[in-house]
Chain A
Amino acid sequence: MSISREQVINIASLARIAIEKVDIGSYQGAMSDILDFVGHLDAADTTDIEPMAHPLDLVQRLREDVVGEENRRDDFQAIAPETEQGLYLVPRVIE
């Protein structure tokens, strides 16, 4: 196994995904298989090779700093799980 149960729990917590205790082992197995498989990338000689983040040589386009879109807050809030007076509701964070 390339990674431990503790690592799976830690990664799941970083990714904000709840994992049932009984499933940890199967995620550990699958993740280890995948990481073992991609492990042979190590063997490639990449000395002096620039990382490639993107397939095309693009530069970020700029535009005038003016309003380009209409405000559709009501439309977007209509599909939210819970809103009130234009605000998204979540459980209380500060007591």
Chain B
Amino acid sequence: MSDPSLIELVAGLAAGHYSSEELVGDRLQRIERAQPQLNTFTSVMPERALDAARAADQARAKGSRSPLLGLPIAHKDIFCTRDVRTSCGSRMLEAFVPPYDAAVVERLTAAGAVTLAKTNMDEFAMGSSNENSYFGDVKNPWDVTRVPGGSSGGSAAAVAAGLVPAATGTDTGGSIRQPAAFCGISGIKPTYGRVSRWGMVAFASSLDQGGVFARSAADCALMLESMAGFDRRDSTSVDRPVPRYGEALERPLKGLRIGLPRPYFGEGVNDVIRARIDSAVALYRDLGCTIQEVDLPHSELAVAAYYVVALAECSSNLSRFDGVRYGHRCKNPASLEDLYERSRSEGFGDEVVRRILVGTYALSAGYYDAYYLQAQKVRRLIAGDFEQAFEEVDLLLSPTTPTTAFSLGEKSQDPVSMYLSDVFTVAVSLAGLPAMSIPVGLDAGLPIGMQLIAPHFAETRLLNAAHAFQLASDWHLQRPEAFS
């Protein structure tokens, strides 16, 4: 079996070219071969997956036409899975087996998808390289000496290596878009509130949003249709109908106004990336789009504002891990204080501890106004920049990252330089906008990602524009040689 897209697999299953059991069995074999090289997964569930695949085949025989029936997928290990360990890449949750499924897992399972594995990730989704996992680094399938990006690095690497045709992820400041760019695949972060956060381990609640990785925009559209939608169990879930994203993919782009944010084309962007983005822009012009530059005047404040907000929320969210109700507990605690302090210090890795400490500081008496409140005000300025830009254009286009995938170890000792690799993705998160990254070229054998950004709830437009690019180019079909 070669490497068909999700949509081709839907057709292949429907036509009876193969059964779900055969398909799942094949992908499980690929996983077994690739895992020692890439370390993409924290858990693999072969028996459960094969049972579910056989059940899907039986349901199909009885006439079921669920949209994702029998398709193999993987979930980022941040989504709770009933009776399957959900580690969040942390020692803290090394033995945590949730008694319920996250909303995203429920929905995709109800749509017929078969979960093969849980993907490796930066601990508690904190990182941009997947080097912060308690379960070890994930390697980039294009070059195993390089990072896959993070925090959803395992999901991105798994899709890029053809181990699963689609995988879920979460994006707080770029954790879907940046790994999609580094691994040469398509990834979408929907509008904040579009996909339920229920059962998704919280990092920064005003930013966290679930999304998906796949080979193409069309595949992302298919997945998102089943994932998105209102959920009363998530207090910030938005009650709006979910459009049929797949049906709008082929709309002509003629007349679409695309804006190029000036600050995202400045110094620091590698020349080859710039050239590939320029040719993508030329392609959109050929498709009848108008192109203009736009300003996002407060861009240079985005990374700082993002890290203050995210770290403050992280320190508050992670206070729930106290060694009492679930998660790691230290041995022989001498007192309740000792129980809290040692359980947390043993359970959390270095980057998580750094972030909790900085977040605690930013929220502490005397510093709250200077850091947290000021960051929230800057957040409004940044959101206002986008609102203004979207009065002139329908979509924004930029590089996803200033460089291609960096080497393992290159930035892991320097948190600030790691944070700066998120320079083009965090502003979008602060504003809660939908955005995606799609591959637009290679530099020295490493993928280059292009970011498309849309106004709130305009996922349809985003997917439509990404799909039009993919119809007219073949970068999304490129595969890492070692895994093709």
Contacts and interface: CB of A to CB of B under 8 A. Distances in A.
Contacts of B431: 55
A44 B383 CA distance: 15
Contacts of B419: 34, 37
B304 A41 contact: yes
B353 A88 contact: no
Contact of B358 (A34, A52, A75, A88): A34
Contact of B354 (A31, A38, A53, A93): A31
Interface string A48-81: 0111111110101101000000001001101111
A1 interface: no
A51 B377 contact: yes
Contacts of A90: 324, 333, 336, 339
B340 A16 contact: yes
Contact of A15 (B96, B357, B376, B433): B357
A16 B319 CA distance: 8
Interface stretch (B144-152, B341-349, B465-473): B341-349
B290 interface: no
A75 B97 CA distance: 10
Contacts of B415: 30, 33-34
A21 interface: no
B315 interface: yes
Contact of A56 (B99, B236, B375): B236
A53 B309 CA distance: 9
**Interface size range of chain B in the complex:** 35 or more
A60 B456 CA distance: 19
Contacts of A82: 329
A58 B432 CA distance: 12
B392 interface: no
B contact face: mostly helix, strand, loop, or mixed: helix
B59 to A, nearest CB: 27
B232 interface: yes
B193 A58 contact: yes
A33 B456 CA distance: 34
Interface residues of A, number: 50
B374 A11 contact: no
A79 B325 CA distance: 8
A22 interface: no
A33 B301 contact: no
A9 to B, nearest CB: 11
Contact of B380 (A17, A34, A49): A49
Given A46-B377, A91-B334, A93-B336, A27 B354 contact: yes
A27 B353 contact: yes
Contacts of B232: 61, 63
Which 3 pairs from chain A and chain B are nearest by CB?
Answer: A55-B432, A51-B376, A81-B329
16 contacts: A3-B361, A8-B357, A12-B357, A34-B354, A34-B358, A35-B361, A38-B375, A44-B298, A44-B377, A46-B377, A52-B376, A55-B433, A79-B99, A80-B326, A81-B327, A91-B334
Interface of A: 3, 7-8, 11-19, 27, 30-31, 33-35, 37-42, 44, 46, 49-56, 58, 60-61, 63, 72, 75-76, 78-82, 88, 90-91, 93
Given A41-B301, A52-B379, 20 more contacts: A11-B360, A13-B341, A14-B360, A15-B344, A16-B319, A17-B345, A19-B345, A31-B354, A38-B307, A42-B370, A44-B378, A51-B373, A52-B380, A52-B383, A54-B206, A54-B432, A56-B238, A76-B325, A88-B325, A91-B334
